[in-house]
Amino acid sequence: MTIATALLIGVVVVLTLFFALRVLLSRRVRGGRKEGSAPSEDLQPDEAILSGDRRTFLKVVGIGGLSVLPAVALPAVFNSEAGVASTESPATGPGGRIRQWTMIIDLRSCDGCQSQDSPPKCTTACIEGHLAPEPMEWIQVFEEELEGGGTRFLPTPCMQCQNPPCVNVCPVGATFSTPEGAVLIDQERCIGCRICMAACPYDRRFFNWSDPPIPPEALLADYSPDHQIPATKGTVMKCDMCPDMARAGTLPYCSQACPNGAIYYGDLEEDIATNGREIVSVSRFLTTNNAEVLKEHLGTKPRVFYIPGHGEAVGRDPFTEGREPTEWPWVQRVEGSQTWSR
C-alpha cells in the first residue's frame, strides 16, 4: 500500500465519522427530545459515551465502523515507510521476532559517580531527557550497606516485570505491558487512584501531587505513553525503559550517560546487549557473572538484572561512603507549578 493510498483511506475515515456525527447532532437539534423518550437518547455524543448508552454511541460511530480496520493499519504503513515502530507496532528483529527489551546493571562498575564528583549521571540524564518533575528519580541510585561494613551503590529503575503487580491491580487499564516487555502508563487514562503504587514492591512509581514543576518547553511535546511528556497533575509516572529510543536505534539516557559503562541495554530474544562500548551475550553474561534480580522470591520476574559488586572494577573503595544529591536543572518552570516531597 502506498502512502497516497493510505492518506486517501484516512481522509475517507475522518470524513465518514464527521458526517455521521453531524447527522446525529442535527437530528437532535431539529427534533428535540421526543415525548416519552429515555433520558439517555437526549445526550450529547460525548455524554452518551460516558453514560454507557450503547445505542446512542453506536449511532455516532456506526457508519464509520466499517472503516476501523484501514484506520488502525495506517500507523503501520507510515512506520514501515519511515523505519520507526509505534507502541501499537512493536519492534521486530530477524525473522519477525518481537524484541524483548532488558537491562543489565553491572555493580562492579558503579561508583555512584563518586569519581566524577557529581550526582549520579544516570539519574541526571533521565531527568533531563524525560523533563521529569522534581522530586521524581525514575532511576534512583541508593546506597546500601554491605554485610561486612561499607556500602555499594544500586541504580534502581522500574524493574519492567514480566508478572507486574501494578498491571494486575490497575482498575482502568492505564498501566499495561507492551509486546516488547516494557510496562507503560497512559496518563490520559490514569485516574490517580495510586493502587499501582501500593502494589509495586520496588517503590518505583511516582505521583504528580500538583501541577508538576517542569520546564515550559515540556508543554510543547506531543504526548505518548512511550515517553510520558508532559507530566500531568493527578497521574502516576515511572521509568518507561525508553522503548521509543530503542526502536530508533539509540541507548536509553541512563546508559548513554553512565561514565563507567555500568548499564547495558539489550534484547532477550536476540540474546544481545550493549553499554555502548562492548557487546555481550545476555545469557552468557548473566550466567558467568552470577547475575541477580531484586526480590526474586516475589515471582514478579523482573527484566532488570544485576551483576553483584561495589564499584571494584573502577577502583572504588567500599568504605568511601556518600554521594552527591540529585539536582533538577530547570531554570524556568511552568507558571503555577509546585514542588512536593516524595
**Among residues 3, 2, 12, which one has the least CA distance to residue 71?**
12
Looking at every residue in the chain, the average pLDDT score rounds to 81
pLDDT, position 298: 97
Q: Is 236 inside a domain boundary?
A: yes
- Cβ–Cβ < 8 Å for 123, 140: yes
pLDDT digits (tens, 9 = 90+) for 145-204: 999 999 999 999 999 999 999 999 999 999 999 999 999 999 999 999 999 999 999 999
| Residue 140 DSSP label | E
56 and 115 inside one domain: no
Same domain, 76 and 130: no
DSSP assignment of 231-256:
--TT-EE-----HHHHHTT---HHHH
Which of residues 28, 49, 82 is at a domain's end? 82
**Is residue 216, in this structure, part of any structural domain at all?**
yes
Percent of the chain with pLDDT over 90: 68
Shared-domain flag, residues 257 and 124: yes
Same domain, 137 and 188: yes
Q: Is residue 293, in this structure, part of any structural domain at all?
A: yes
Q: Are 157 and 199 in contact (CB under 8 A)?
A: no
Residue 96, in any domain of the structure: no
**In a domain? residue 323:** no
- 39 with 155, same domain: the answer is no
CA 111/CA 322 separation, integer angstroms: 10
Query: Above pLDDT 70, what percent of the chain?
Result: 74
- Note whether residue 118 is domain-resident: yes
- pLDDT per residue over 11-48, tens digit each? 555 555 555 444 444 444 344 443 333 333 343 333 33
Based on the fold, state whether residues 238 and 161 are members of the same structural domain.
Answer: yes
Q: What is the CATH number of the domain that holds 270?
A: 3.30.70.20
Domain final residue, candidates 55, 82, 109: 82
Same domain, 176 and 127: yes
Q: Which of 49, 82, 115 is the last residue of a domain?
A: 82
Say if residue 138 is in the same domain as residue 177.
yes
Whether 114 and 35 map to the same domain: the answer is: no
Q: What is the mean pLDDT of residues 126-130?
A: 97
Same domain, 180 and 112: yes
Give the residue numbers spanning the domain of 108.
101-314
- Exposure of 101 in the CB half-sphere (CA atoms within 13 A): 27
Tens digits of residue pLDDT in 187-244: 999 999 999 999 999 999 999 999 999 999 999 999 999 999 999 999 999 999 999 9
On the question of a cis peptide bond just before residue 135, with omega within 30 degrees of 0, the verdict is: yes
Confidence of residue 54 (pLDDT cuts 50, 70, 90): very low
140 in the same domain as 61: no
Tally the domains of the chain. Answer: 2
pLDDT at 58 over 90: no
CA distance 219 to 320: 41
Q: Is residue 336 part of a domain?
A: no
In a domain, 110, yes or no: yes
Query: In the predicted model, what is the mean pLDDT of residues 316-340?
Result: 94
Q: Both 270 and 195 in a single domain?
A: yes
